[in-house]
Amino acid sequence: MQRLGRALLGGLVRARAWRPVPRRGAASGEEEQFVFPEYELEPVLVPERSEAVAVAAPRRKAAAAERRRGPAAAAATGRSDPSVSPSGVSCPGCGAELQCRDGAAPGFLPADKYGGAAGLRGAVCQRCWLLAHRGRAPRLELPPEQHRRAVLAALRRPPRHGRGPLLLYVLDVTELPDAVLPQLPVLLAAAGAAAAVAGVLVVGNKVDLLPRDGPRHLERLRRRVEAACARAGLRGAALAGVRLASAKTGFGLEGLVSRLQRSWRAAGDVLLLGATNSGKSTLFNALLRSDYCKSRAPDAVAPATVSPWPGTTLDLLKFPIINPTCDRIFRRRERLKAEAEKTEDQLSDEEKKYLNHLKKQGYLVGRVGRTFQRPKASPVVDFDPDMLSYSVDEDPGHSPQKREEKEEFTHNEVKDARWCFDTPGIAKENCVLNLLTEEEVKLVLPTRAIVPRTFILKPEMVLFLAALGRIDYLQGEKPAWFSVMASNLLPVHVTTMSKADAIYEKYAGKELLKVPMGGEERMKEFPPLVPQDIALEGIGTTEAVADIKLSSAGWVAVTAHAQEKLLLRAYTPEGTALVVREPPLLPYVCNIRGARIVGTAAYRTKRPPSLVENLKTTGSR
């Protein structure tokens, strides 16, 4: 770590308490790795995949798909029975029809768990169960056309109470400009729904991942989302509004519920749309626990399955929306007013614990409450002969208990209901996540507040983001700052141009660059990095001129002296999209840094504090 070009900051989150840890298996003193002991990867729950055998070139594609599907340990288990006809019952987690005929197809439930339609109420498919309980499941590679068909079917639903649907388009702000948004007008036209739609409300989701880089940063983020909408042709009356939110931490959700309730008269059903992984199912579940759904909905509707792997939701899921009558609006306002007066001290121990958990996860947090709750009836325990299938709450391997029976809505309760639908995502093409295995996706997809990592590079220096992206500083007069915004679990490696090719050759697939993982065999099937030249002109040492977005692996904000002309060469794996985002998402991100780490290109990191939206900051803390 004595020379420039030896900075490796893997899993780096806090500036304090770092210590160098020699890289495992490194030749003495050749390379060093710096990890933060308090930020280690959560243990993998399922045993590692056994070493793959060598794959001949013509079988490369099949082998790559096999790897992405995941290890045998997570594969569907249990007996299938092709003689049993599909159930006609949907899995509440993913929407697929439950069946026991084919273990590799959606909706599979082993034959011995399958009690026919009567015994499947509340049961989830094996894949959703594995995702909920094991954190992983065999990956289903449905053709994008199938997801599209389900979305088109949702758009073609007849108007409700004579009104077209309100589209709640969920986009992941870290993925701006959303590559799927421009497809929305095309999809609407294909569904013949363009004229009937009551409007598109765009939710910029996952704002909890982004640090505040200066005053009015949320306003800037909103403008970026609006600009993406405008580029996609969504403007004027078609755009019902833009809101920033975090489906995960609750930030912006009470405001979103109020906004949705205001559209009650104008709209029929509400459809959650967007790219895979943007957080639709997470938002669906958050709305299911809010004032937006009928008070009995959480007891009658199981939550959607959420997972970091694209393509989890396979068909439509729905809950009934509550009618926001004047009385209910009044009661809700009163509750919100009372809640806003609370300080952290006034929260129950359980609430405090949950809030602290969320603050650790994200920069922006919001508390979501419920006004219209039914008092819980005491549960009646009796023998249930239908208890043959999985419920999402039960572990069939370990728990002999019966699955919790979901309540059912009566015909009268839902006959006039407006419904909120979760839909399968629209697949992102040219996305690096499509090339990765489950374990790799877990490392690449940021799940916690992203801590910016800034490096100062001179011309002729190179920055690697794992083995998924590379930026060469080809030409320029002065050093420039490169702020990496990516999962804290992905390593960043800085080196010189003379060494970069050899480093990639030697370490791609290995621990130093971490992702992809699986050694030379893995790299044989992984597409090579392909370059694209980028010319930028600096606008000052405190404001980034552009972000270089390395597909969905993350991005690098480039900050350079005013009028400094830089020539960069950025690389992403062949077939994935490299985007130069101008203006950058967080223009002042480079200032979120500590002191320079002596003798390296790296700065110490800083984690700005988290903010809770609807909680008084006064009170003794």
Ligand X SMILES: Nc1nc2c(ncn2[C@@H]2O[C@H](COP(=O)(O)OP(=O)(O)O)[C@@H](O)[C@H]2O)c(=O)[nH]1
Residue ranges that bind ligand X, judged by CB under 6 A:
205-206, 208-209, 246-248, 274, 276-282, 306-308, 312-313, 362, 425, 447
Q: Token pair 């070493």 is at which residue?
A: 51
Smaller CB distance to ligand X: residue 208 or 472?
Answer: 208
Q: Which is nearer to ligand X, 6 or 428 (CB)?
A: 428
User: Of ligand X, Mg ion, none, which one does residue 453 interact with (CB within 5 to 8 Å by kind)?
Assistant: none
One-letter amino acid at 607 equals R
* Cβ neighbours of 537 (radius 10 Å): 13
Residue 25: which residues within 8 A CB-CB, separation 6 or more?
A: 511
Cα–Cα distance list, 290 to 166, 260, 510, 603 (Å): 18, 12, 45, 42
CA angle 264, 269, 272 (to 5 degrees): 110
**Could you say which DSSP state residue 86 is in?**
P
Q: How far is the CB of 148 from Mg ion (least distance, A)?
A: 15
Contact 202, 236 (CB under 8 A): no
Shortest distance (Å) from residue 50 CB to ligand X: 27
Residues β-bridged to residue 473: 568
Whether the CB-CB separation of 607 and 449 falls below 8 Å is answered with yes
CA nearest 349: which of 339, 341, 357? 357
128 vs 557, which CB is nearer to ligand X?
Answer: 128
**Pairwise CA distance, residues 178 & 147, whole Å:** 18
Least CB distance to ligand X at residue 139 (A): 13
Partner that binds at residue 423, options ligand X, Mg ion, none, CB closer than 5 to 8 Å by kind:
none
Whose Cβ is closer to ligand X: residue 256's or residue 435's? 256
Residue 248's binding partner, choosing from Mg ion, ligand X, none, with beta-carbon cut-off 5 to 8 A by kind? ligand X
What is the contact surface with Mg ion in residues (CB under 5 A)?
Answer: 281, 312-313
Q: Based on CB atoms, which residue is closest to ligand X, 425 or 573?
A: 425
290 binds, among ligand X, Mg ion, none (CB under 5 to 8 A by kind): none
Q: Is the peptide bond before 516 cis (omega within 30 degrees of 0)?
A: yes
Choose the contact partner of 279 out of Mg ion, ligand X, none; CB within 5 to 8 A by kind. Answer: ligand X
277 makes contact, choosing from Mg ion, ligand X, none, with CB < 5 to 8 Å by partner type, with: ligand X
Closest approach, Cβ 499 to Mg ion, in A, equals 42
| Residue closer to ligand X, measured from CB, 552 or 600 | 552
Token pair recorded at residue 174:
């870290």
Q: Please, which residues bridge with residue 200 across strands?
A: 167, 239
* Least distance to Mg ion, CB of residue 442, Å: 17
In the complex, residue closest to ligand X by CB: 279
Q: What is the rounded distance in angstroms from the CA atom of residue 580 to the CA atom of residue 534?
A: 8
Output 312 or 483, the one with its CB closest to ligand X: 312
CB-CB contact of 295 with 375 (8 Å): no
Binding site partner of 434, from Mg ion, ligand X, none, Cβ cut-off 5-8 A by kind: none
- Closest distance to ligand X from the beta carbon of 226 (Å): 19
Nearest of 303, 578, 575, 321 to residue 434 by alpha carbon:
575
Whole-angstrom distance, CA of residue 110 vs CA of residue 88: 16
Q: Which does 209 bind (CB under 5 to 8 A by kind): ligand X, Mg ion, none?
A: ligand X
For the CB of residue 425, give the shortest distance to Mg ion in the complex, in Å.
6
Least distance CB 169 / ligand X (angstroms): 11
